Amino acid sequence: MPLKYSLEPVFKGFINIQDTNIMQDTTLHSTPQNVPSLALLRENIRVRLERFSFSAHTPLEQLREGGYKLNRPTTETIANHLELTILDLKYLINDLYWLQWIEEKKQVLVQQEA
């Protein structure tokens, strides 16, 4: 099914895309989770990496909305966004290392059982 889009801005910096199948690989399941899931951890990391890449332009948009002037309100808005991004990335990096460590330990256990 071809995408239908309009170059008329819906919000500043966005175009109108009308297709409900764009993010079809991310589904929410209604079953309760009572055991850890490596697949869910991998998906969590992938989604967070995507979110980071989609929001990378936000400080530039905030600067543009402030008339490309670094006054107190614009600077505070951009600085707050960047500080939160730094914190999010710190946690994401930690989760990446956790996943790597878990995968390595899982591989060692599989080799020991063989």
- Residues 72-77: what's their mean pLDDT? 94
Q: What are phi and psi of 16, to 5 degrees?
A: -85, 115
Task: Count other Cβ atoms within 10 Å, centred on residue 85.
Answer: 15
- pLDDT higher than threshold 50 for residue 1: no
90 with 48: CB under 8 angstroms?
Answer: no
- Check pLDDT > 70 for residue 50: yes
Integer Cα distance of 75 and 30 in angstroms: 42
What pTM did the predictor assign? 0.65
**Domain segments of the chain: what residues?**
37-114
Q: Which residue blocks in 1-114 are alpha helix, DSSP H?
A: 38-55, 58-65, 72-113
Residue 38 has pLDDT above 90, yes or no: yes
Check pLDDT > 60 for residue 37.
yes
| Residues 6 or more apart whose Cβ sits within 8 Å of residue 70 | 63
Alpha-carbon distance of 25 to 36, in angstroms, equals: 20
Percent of the chain with pLDDT over 90: 64
